[in-house]
Amino acid sequence: MQLAPFFPLLYRILQPTFPNCLWSGNPHTKAVALTFDDGPHPVYTPQLLKVLDYYSIPASFFWLGACVNRAPATAKTVSDRGHWIGLHGYDHRSFPLLSPPELKLSLESTQQAISQACGVHPTSVRDVRPPNGLFTPQTLDLLNQWQYRSVMWSVVPEDWVRPGIKLVVQRVLEQVQNGSTIVLHDGACGGQDVAQTAKILIPLLLQRGYEFVTIDALWYGHGQKISPI
């Protein structure tokens, strides 16, 4: 069963319940953040980068440490393009299933992988999106205690199950609004279609007058800042 119809409802319930997470940006500003999870992938991410380059679109990537270690050159290319980088855990295990020491190690190992691949300071990468969108209040308390910033989502077209590029684009267009945080995937699940999806979606959103910004730009609207990578 596809879960895409339930994500808008979840967003409306969870966003006010956990206001310290970044779910979306300023509702009065016609800007959206295009974000990509589960990479970097040595094939799918470079394909996506060509589309982002063509439209001069900044994006935000939430990486798995294991994938960074498998494709460090791709990671470096993304970073060098000036895209925003965040953490998605080391190997996509749901955070509530990890003990606090395991969670901390997962995040720090991912930071270290990014540091080695991209030549940035490990602690400059502080945005965290939980794998599978799963978290508990304890998870958020730990992330805050360790000085990470929790990043969630507002538009989830469930592209990782590959329902078809046309349907993914349709779902985004039906849900997008000012400040939306759109989640797509450039990893092993869904990455096969991500470049073509972006190639269709980006010009349609531009035609609607949306500006593309990074997750960091959305945080500025919440009064929080972080050193650039």
Q: Which residues are catalytic?
A: 37, 185
Tokens in use for 96? 């509530």
CA distances for 36 relative to 19, 32, 137, angstroms: 22, 13, 24
Instruction: Identify whether the C-beta of residue 192 lies closer than 8 Å to the C-beta of residue 182.
Output: no
Phi, psi of 183 (to 5 degrees): -110, 120
- Give every CB contact of residue 45 below 8 A, 6+ residues apart in sequence: 36, 39, 61, 71, 74, 78, 186, 191
Instruction: Identify whether the C-beta of residue 186 lies closer than 8 Å to the C-beta of residue 34.
Output: no
Distance from C-alpha of 32 to C-alpha of 34, rounded to nearest angstrom? 7
User: Of 202, 170, 197, which is closest to residue 184 (Cα–Cα)?
Assistant: 197
DSSP per-residue letters across 34-53: EEEEEE--TTHHHHHHHHHH
Instruction: Identify whether the C-beta of residue 49 lies closer than 8 Å to the C-beta of residue 77.
Output: yes
Instruction: Identify whether the C-beta of residue 128 lies closer than 8 Å to the C-beta of residue 143.
Output: yes
Rg, the chain, Cα only:
16
